[in-house]
With several copies, the nearest count.
Chain A
């Protein structure tokens, strides 16, 4: 086992390794792009939640109090 040999071996590992990493990630990118299209088609975003934000905030205050009560009860 000479030293030069080992570096040569390591270089081959590097080629195999980086190759696999990129193949993996390229396939992943490809699949994710397809997925984004499919999901976008079948699950259109519901963007109408915005106007109800005021109400949600009010609910949040109630929830905070409830949460605190729960936390208190749990703690005792």
Chain B
């Protein structure tokens, strides 16, 4: 028996010294006999109650890169409780209010897991850390989401009336307005740029940029982006009504022309070629988006298109949410910056909406066909919710006036506009 134990020990040693390359480094710790009281006492040391009651300054947080950081007394006690409160608020918003639940539920749950004391789930060997390193640190997951969104998007309304794309451009004032605001609040230029993309109202774009320019603020930026996208029906209508007259809101728009299959097929290629020529920096985002859309519009690879729109985007959404949620750990999220980010995000949405509406008013003045200024608000993207809000506000002014398809043009153009704006910011800090 002793011999066998020795052999086992030896075998463990072999394992120990041989596994340098693999993911797994197996070390069997020596076990020292303990009395039952000692055992219970050492167990008590590992409980979460102990960690919360008896705060000490020794606790460390490990990030996905394996970097250890000493936690302060606040971060390891009250901070965590506040974060769990925020997580429950997000659950409430997602479930009871229907605010972007597809992402807010995984993000919030990831935040819950990230705030568990002693479990180190955000470390390189923890579930959240593994996910983070798999697809957030390298920006792979946001691109896959963008590919799926591309496969779900119908650019028909935009192609039917291309000039509405300019409304999707005007709404990007939300990005650059909030950039100036963020700098005024004290953020440096790079952080301010990362934050300002919230105004683009595209989750994957925000995550992609935050990761490149300010990864430490990823959690707050993603939460702000998705929260405000969810708040579109609350934020936009008052601004839309304040900037338009009753008469303008009643404007009827003509029936859209039929768009040929070939136009839809070529569209993603045109956008991609333009972005190659003008802004190669935006091509990862626009490339992934165009690929998804091209696969869909080709019409010959239905099974790939379906997979992008379902199994693949769903799997990636689960992982993206959990991975982003790992940045809701108290020590990352409970900083003054997060408050600033939330405020700037709100301003960005307001500016974007206003700029879109004002641009639409301008275009209505010079256009042969009438343009209802409301559709400018859809330019912020937040596809397709902003377009639905436009349609609702339009129908309030004149029942039966269906603006939905007209609003979809600026709406999808807003996605492209934000990707271009993102590319410009990236090229500046390259």
Contact = CB atoms under 8 A, between A and B. Distances in A.
Q: Do A and B bind each other?
A: yes
Contacts of B423: 20
B335 interface: no
Interface string A38-76: 011001010000000000000000000000000000111
Given A28-B270, A74-B306, A45 B189 contact: no
Contacts of B424: 13, 16-17, 20-21
A6 B263 contact: no
A74 B309 CA distance: 11
Contacts of A17: 172, 175-176, 179, 421, 424-425
Contact of A18 (B173, B182, B262, B274): B173
Interface string A1-43: 1010111011111111110111111111101110110011001
Contact of B270 (A5, A16, A20, A35): A35
Interface in B242-275: 258, 260-263, 266-267, 270-271, 274-275
Given A13-B189, A18-B176, A7 B184 contact: yes
A8 B35 CA distance: 10
A76 B302 contact: yes
Contacts of A40: 260
A72 to B, nearest CB: 12
Interface stretch (B36-44, B84-92, B389-397): B36-44
A16 B166 contact: no
B375 to A, nearest CB: 15
A18 B183 contact: no
Contacts of A45: 258, 260
Given A10-B179, A11-B180, A20 B266 contact: no
Contacts of B40: 16
A8 to B, nearest CB: 8
Nearest to A16: B39
30 contacts: A3-B184, A7-B183, A9-B34, A10-B182, A13-B176, A13-B189, A13-B193, A16-B40, A17-B175, A17-B179, A18-B169, A18-B176, A20-B279, A20-B423, A21-B421, A23-B278, A24-B169, A25-B166, A25-B169, A25-B413, A25-B416, A26-B166, A28-B165, A28-B270, A29-B162, A29-B166, A32-B159, A39-B260, A39-B263, A39-B266
The DSSP consensus for interface residues of chain A is helix
Given A3-B1, A10-B180, A12-B36, A32 B270 contact: yes
Contacts of B176: 10, 13-14, 17-18
A9 B33 CA distance: 7
Contacts of B413: 25
B301 interface: no
Given A13-B428, A15-B36, A43-B260, A20 B189 contact: no
A24 B274 contact: yes
Contacts, number: 133
A29 B184 contact: no
A5 B260 contact: no
A35 B263 contact: yes
A62 to B, nearest CB: 19
B278 A10 contact: no
B179 A13 contact: yes
B80 to A, nearest CB: 20
Interface string B279-315: 1000000000000000000000010001000000000
A6 B192 CA distance: 10
B262 A43 contact: yes
B420 A36 contact: no
Interface string B334-374: 00000000000000000000000000000000000000000
Interface in B38-57: 39-40, 43
A36 B266 CA distance: 11
Given A21-B424, A36-B159, 15 more contacts: A5-B33, A9-B31, A9-B34, A13-B176, A13-B425, A14-B179, A16-B43, A18-B173, A21-B169, A21-B420, A24-B278, A32-B263, A32-B270, A36-B263, A39-B260
